[in-house]
Amino acid sequence: MYFYKTPLTLASAFLFASAQATYLNPELSFGQQDKISPNLRAIPNFHVIGNPNPPEILSNKLVLTPPVPGNQRGAIWAEKPLMHSSWSVDVDFRATGPERGGGNFMVYLAKNGREDIGTASIYTVGRFDGLALVIDQYAGSVNLPDPEPKSKHLANGIHVQGGSVRGFLNDGSTEYKSHHSVDSLAFGHCEYSYRNLGRPSRIAIRQSPDSFSVDVDGRRCFDSPKIKIPLGYYFGVSAASAENADSFEVFRFVTTTDSHTPDVEGQPGEQFAAAPDNQAQAQQPIENTQNTQRDIPEEAPASKYTSSDAQFADLHNRLQAMMRAFSMQTQAFQTYQQQSNSRHETLLQRISAIEASVKQQEGTGKVLKDIQSDVRQTKADLHNALDQHVAGLKSAVREGHSSVLGTIANSGTGLGKLVFVVLGSQALLVGAFVLYKRRKANGPKKYL
């Protein structure tokens, strides 16, 4: 029966690869590309808050708390909830500060996190419902609440003083800010020196159907098979600095899930949700995958099958499982093809609308030319009317001037008469003066 070993192994590998596939959720991620913000003012699908100053958004990182001044708080919360039961989150952050600097860094997955938590730390938050992962220096000697040895919660090579990673859970019944010992509420813990490393640190949080785990820089910090976060909770990252401030910077927040579609249909805000007509078709391959995985017979040595009937039954079961897997992949491909065709039709409709708008815009040039021609004709008519009006004024002034000159010439005294009058008056005055002199000379003289 070794003849069928190669195709069965390939089919098993194919099924395993299909089951282990992960998909990026861009609505719950930032920093997976070169820039975390397109305009350096906001991060898509996230809400940034701070007290007293808002966090600074740079091209490749988000500065939750600056180096100066101290006593700052900053947070970033996702605007849409997590609707997948199996997921993973990778957070790249860096903490730098003076030798005696202080602060804490929190990663939340909580219900109504922005309203109930905001920028609060684990020591100042009230009642909240969800998970809190805290990275700080204030719990170097925290005792774990469970009876397991502490070494089980610590990763090899992370036994470094100067910081710790702790996990907290709350169902909304405990008010942390008034609790007498918040550190004792941690369900998992490992030591990790995170300050002034000169490089970003990576916190990886994983939720699978059978376990919950936290890794630090690729090494296991703690895990638990008893933790299951409900659906509909919101991711958030916050930081708080002391008077001697630590600067906390976030470079990446990447969320991946095990499927495109959410586990609960009909929830708004999921980019991966299929159209209403295709939700059942999109969900069916996932169910078929789970059923196929359950139907795959467990691996067994060849010596177990001693009879031809047992060998045939095993081969029959494996071939059926393989055909179910191929059928599931075919259905998934058909669903994807239908979605692609629908998107293609929608795109064609939008292109047609754009082309119609472009055609309407093409007639704008003709209208502008007509308007230009009308304006040019109106301008020419105005110039002609103005020229005619000026010419009429000139003609009227010229005629009036000629009429005035003729009237003066006809009704006035001639130049000869004027000269005669002037000369006659002068001669009369001279004669009178001569006569006066003669009479004065011929008159009797009086002597005293």
| Closest CA relative to residue 255, chosen from 4, 45, 16, 17 | 45
CB burial readout 262-286, b (16+ within 10 A) else e: bbeeeeeebebbbeeebeebbbebb
Q: How confident is the model at residue 304 (pLDDT cuts 50, 70, 90)?
A: low
Higher pLDDT, 380 or 415: 380
Tokens 């007498």: give the residue: 180
Enumerate the H helices of 109-218 as residue ranges.
113-116
Give CATH 2.60.120.200 domain extents, the chain.
22-257
Residue with tokens 């600074």: 56
Written as one string, the DSSP assignment of 50-62 is: EESSPPEE-SS-E
In 3D space, the residue among 172, 168, 174, 109 whose CA is nearest the CA of residue 139 turns out to be: 168
Q: Which residues of 396-431 are buried (b: 16+ CB within 10 A; e: fewer)?
A: eeeeeeeeeeeeeeeeeeeeeeeeeeeeeeeeeeee
The predicted structure's pLDDT at residue 447: 65
- Asked whether 64 and 55 are in contact (CB, 8 A), the reply is yes
DSSP string, 396-413: HHHHHHHHHHHHHHHHSP
Whether domain 22-257 has CATH 3.40.50.300 = no
What is the tens place of the pLDDT at every residue in 417-436?
A: 888 888 999 999 999 999 98
Give me the amino acid identity at 166. R
Q: Alpha-carbon distance 292 to 287, whole Å?
A: 8
Q: Is 434 strand, coil or helix? A: helix
How far is the CA of 300 from the CAs of 1, 8, 316, in angstroms?
Answer: 13, 13, 15
Ranking 187-201, 214-228, 355-369 by mean pLDDT, the lowest is: 355-369
Gap between the Cα atoms of 286 and 278, Å rounded: 13
The confidence score (pLDDT) of residue 207 equals 94
- Bigger pLDDT: 180 or 293? 180
CB-count exposure of residue 96 (10 Å: 0-12, 13-18, 19+): middle
Strands (E), 158-282: 164-175, 188-191, 201-208, 211-216, 219-224, 234-241, 247-257
- Give the Cα separation of 129 and 113 in Å (integer): 8
Please give the structure tokens belonging to residue 166: 């702790």
Pairing of strands 73-78, 46-51: antiparallel
Strand 234-241 and strand 73-78: the pairing is: antiparallel
Q: d(Cα 74, Cα 54) in Å, to the nearest integer?
A: 7
Residues 253/29, Cβ–Cβ less than 8 Å = yes
Percent of the chain predicted with pLDDT > 70: 79
| pLDDT class of 412 with cuts at 50, 70, 90 | low
How much of the chain, in percent, has pLDDT values that exceed 90? Answer: 40
Q: What is the pLDDT of residues 233-261, one digit of tens each?
A: 999 999 999 888 899 999 999 999 988 78
Choice among 87-91, 124-128, 141-145, 177-181 with the minimum mean pLDDT: 141-145
Q: Look at residue 441 in the predicted model and tell me its pLDDT.
A: 82
Q: Is the pLDDT of residue 314 over 80?
A: no
Structure-block tokens of residue 130: 């969800």
Lowest mean pLDDT among 65-69, 161-165, 383-387: 161-165
